[in-house]
Amino acid sequence: MSRDNPVPTLAYLKISGGIFHDCGSHDIDVCRWILNEDPIEVYCVASAFRKEIAEINDYDTVLITLKYPSGALGSIDLSREAVYGYDQRIEVLGSGGMVQAMNRQPTSMVISNKQGVSIDPNCYSFPQRYEHAYAKELDHFADVVDGKVAPKLSHDDARKVAIIADAAEESCRTGKPVSMKGKY
């Protein structure tokens, strides 16, 4: 699940490649990594509640369903607006149990009293949410440039993510599932 905060500027949205490539690509990439397989079918529905986003022929709210050869199903929920802060979470459920990665708050403090339970709000936007991850990515990039390690992602990884994002958009615009047979 990826829900933006703040809503990106219209100037950015016009050049972003659309929500499927700008936002959805990251979640598609994570699904490929977790399952170590590519979907055989993609289905998507979406809406544009914000008039300015609809006017550029894009969407602000998206649900993508991915079906995999193993029978696994993936569900991606995207939104351009989460007024409560940048919201990115993941959940994997299987016969052996469940694993979740929740939002990171600025502190781990939880207040519980008669009024209820209160925690810090989510990080404001992605630079705060991924500060540590971006530093690690830059370190990895420097190691690749120095020849110390090979890149963790390949051109083929990026190509397949783009193909799946295109299929999600095609499904959304046609209202039909898209078979991935022969697309990779």
Domains of the chain, residue spans:
2-179
The pLDDT of residue 108? 87
Mean pLDDT in consecutive groups of 10 residues from the start of the chain, 184 residues: 93 97 96 97 98 98 98 97 92 95 87 93 87 93 96 94 98 98 97
Query: What is the rounded distance in angstroms from the CA atom of residue 180 to the CA atom of residue 32?
Result: 14
Helix residue ranges per DSSP H, the chain: 10-15, 19-22, 24-35, 51-54, 126-129, 131-145, 155-174
The whole-chain average pLDDT of the chain stands at: 95
Architecture (CATH level 2) of domain 2-179: 2-Layer Sandwich (3.30)
The pLDDT of residue 129? 86
The pLDDT of residue 106? 83
CA atoms within 13 A on the CB side of 126: 12
The pLDDT of residue 104? 82
